[in-house]
Amino acid sequence: MRTITDISVMIAGRAGDGVLFTGNVLAKILKKEGWEIVTYRDFPSNIRGEATNYTIRASQRKIYGRSDSIDVLLAFDCDAIIRHLPSLAEGSIILCEGADLARYVTPADKGIVYHQFPIKQLAREWFGSEIFKNMIVLGALCHIMDLETTIVHEIIRDAFLERKGANIVKKNLQAVKLGCEQAEKIVEPEEKHSLEKRISSKKLLISGDEAIAIGALAAGCRFFAAYPICPASEIWQWLAKVFPRYNGLVVQTEDEIAAINMALGASYAGARAMTSTSGPGASLMMEGFSLAGMTEIPLVIVHVQRVGPSTGLPTKSEQADLNMWVYGAQGDFPRIVLSPGTVEECFTFTIKAFNLAEKYQLPVVLLTEQDYGQNLRTTERFSLSKIKVDRGKLLTQDELLKIDEYKRYRYTRDGISPRALPSMINGLHMVESNEHNEKGYREEDSRNRNRMMEKRMIKLRTARKELIAPRLWGESEAETGIIGFGSTFGPIQEAMDQLRGRGLKTKYLQIRTLWPFPTQEVEEFITGCRRVFVVENNYSGQLSSLIKGQVIGCPEIKPILNYSSQTFRPREITAEIEKGT
């Protein structure tokens, strides 16, 4: 009997087959059994009919992203098998609805076991409806992996009892049992991928989008305006459920232009406000982004990157919108762009984003990716002890009354001017999208223009000391360095583990604030390496360009790029590094 420490299960079908639901339940079961989880959804932007697959990876060690291969494939049709055959590991097992696989492939040469498993037919025969097919799949997977069905029962009860009633729960449980029994009939004991029992874990199983939403609530965000867009809508959906309990408000706007301007209006009036978007929606937000910079109104913008350009691939992951937020929008204005690399950082950086935005009175962008936004990962419970709401130089009414002549945009050494809110006595002022003077009124004098520009821009220098520094991973004495941002964190960590196993030491600088750019830290890192690879999910190497633009006399850095719409498999990174060292 083999010992399994790491397993990847793919459920493949067509949009509408319930692949997401089944996969999420499986992820939950495995998590409850104490395994580390990373899920990977590869969905089309389609409700019904197109090919879709969902991979659940479970491991006994800390994992960060998907692995190089699939061990168990449960497919609703043969097409999925043909497509994913190259990724199937030696000794893997396939259960497939379709009967004619042998016509296309000879999996036997890779030691792959194939069984025809009439999922939909079973569901029809036993329960009179194909809808039960997902429970049959779950039952079959429980058998293959030797999972406790008591946990499955709990999860099904949680999912259905309240909404659908006891009868539906009963039928679903029967379907799980049937799946288990039927699989037992066709799967030989030695073909099983039995997972050993582990102690139930108290960790969270959560997506980055959900972590951001909880972070926003914890940070005091009470106003959220957005337009529906993949893959950022999960943030909204969570807030929409929870905000009413906290006197918070979620507004569905007519477009992203309205979303950012509405959030700015709310923030100007004193609320902590946020908007979230992706791809084309972010393009629409550019003029409002610039307005936030000019009017010095705090704002948090979450951008969950999908594949571009244009409408692109709305449900898949990319990192090609870095340039947009670092360089985009009319004029020069101060901005902070944060890039979380883990689910926990999605939570903590969101809180940080609100404090930075309000303290420095500028827009803060939280740039994430679909991979972290929508996929689930096990993570330690978020630490709550360090949460604080820092409202910066927001004046109280008493403080404002003591000021002789209040000036909203008073020149200060640190560039930050005390802020009064509408309704406050003695705080009347103007917020002006045109260039303005200290009182906020339109002013075209060039000396005032220079001072105002400098006042606004100097805030970034003031903020520098409390920005999130890059994090160094791996062996500090390693000669091979890797630089990345955001969700490449997962595949880079996986690749480093593999390389370490093969005797190649590496170190990795995870850039967590993209702007203002951490030039000094990056320069030091590059200087300390013999060769540097920059890993990113885009075509043009946007991070590489940023590094070259910021680090004077930057030596050669080798880009490792993936713009396929799929995240990196670890082997794509290891292969490039091994080739280049």
Partner 1 sequence: MKNKIDYHLEDPTWCRGCGLFALFSAFKKAAESLKIPPEQLVIVTGIGCHGRLNNYFRCYGFHALHGRALPVATGVKLVNPRLIVVGISGDGDAYSIGLGHLLHAMKRNVNLTYVVVNNLIFALTQGQTSPTSREGFVSISHPYGSPEYPLDGPRLALAAGAAFIARGFSGEPGHLLSLIKKAIQHKGFSLLEVLSPCVTHNKVITYQWLKENIELIDQDSSYDPKNIQSAWDRTAGGEKIPVGLIYCQKKSSFEFLVDQDENRPLVSEDFKVKREELEKIMDGFE
Binding pattern to partner 1, positions 103-142, x when CB under 8 A? ----------------------------------------
Q: What letter does residue 422 receive in the DSSP assignment?
A: T
Which residue lies nearer to partner 1 by CB, 4 or 284? 284
Instruction: Determine, following the binding rule CB under 8 A, whether residue 258 of this chain makes contact with partner 1.
Output: yes
Which range touches partner 1 (CB under 8 A), out of 35-43, 124-132, 137-145, 210-218?
A: 210-218
Find the binder of partner 1 among 105, 131, 168, 431 (CB under 8 A): 431
Assess contact for 347 and 214: CB atoms under 8 A: yes
Assess contact for 71 and 7: CB atoms under 8 A: yes
Instruction: Determine, following the binding rule CB under 8 A, whether residue 516 of this chain makes contact with partner 1.
Output: no
Instruction: Determine, following the binding rule CB under 8 A, whether residue 428 of this chain makes contact with partner 1.
Output: yes
State the Cα torsion 533-535-539-540 to the nearest 10°.
Answer: -50
C-alpha angle 6-471-479 in degrees, rounded to nearest 5: 80
CA-CA distance, 534 to 378, in Å (whole number)? Answer: 27
Instruction: Determine, following the binding rule CB under 8 A, whether residue 3 of this chain makes contact with partner 1.
Output: no
Which range touches partner 1 (CB under 8 A), out of 8-16, 58-66, 198-206, 558-566?
A: 198-206
Binding pattern to partner 1, positions 370-399, x when CB under 8 A? -----------xx-x----x----------
The neighbouring-strand residues paired with 484 are 510
Instruction: Determine, following the binding rule CB under 8 A, whether residue 272 of this chain makes contact with partner 1.
Output: yes
Q: Tokens 């809180």 map to which residue?
A: 351
Question: Shortest distance, CB of residue 272 to partner 1, whole angstroms?
Answer: 6
Which residue lies nearer to partner 1 by CB, 186 or 389? 389
Which residue lies nearer to partner 1 by CB, 43 or 224? 224
Which range touches partner 1 (CB under 8 A), out of 206-214, 307-315, 362-370, 531-539?
A: 206-214
Binding pattern to partner 1, positions 22-61, x when CB under 8 A? ----------------------------------------
| Beta-sheet strands, E only, within 161-227 | 204-207, 221-226
Assess contact for 270 and 421: CB atoms under 8 A: yes
Q: What letter does residue 147 receive in the DSSP assignment?
A: -
Residue type at 376?
L
Q: Tokens 């036993």 map to which residue?
A: 126
Which range touches partner 1 (CB under 8 A), out of 3-11, 118-126, 249-257, 489-497?
A: 249-257
Find the binder of partner 1 among 35, 54, 268, 409 (CB under 8 A): 268
* Nearest residue to 176 (alpha-carbon basis) of 144, 146, 134: 134
Q: Tokens 């009892």 map to which residue?
A: 161
The neighbouring-strand residues paired with 508 are 473, 482
CA-CA distance, 92 to 70, in Å (whole number)? Answer: 7
Residue 569's CB is within 10 A of a number of other CB atoms, namely 19
Q: Please give the residue ranges that form the binding site for partner 1 (CB under 8 A).
A: 202-206, 210, 214, 217-220, 222-223, 225, 242, 244, 246-249, 251, 253-255, 257-259, 261-273, 287-288, 291, 381-382, 384, 389, 421-425, 427-434, 440-442
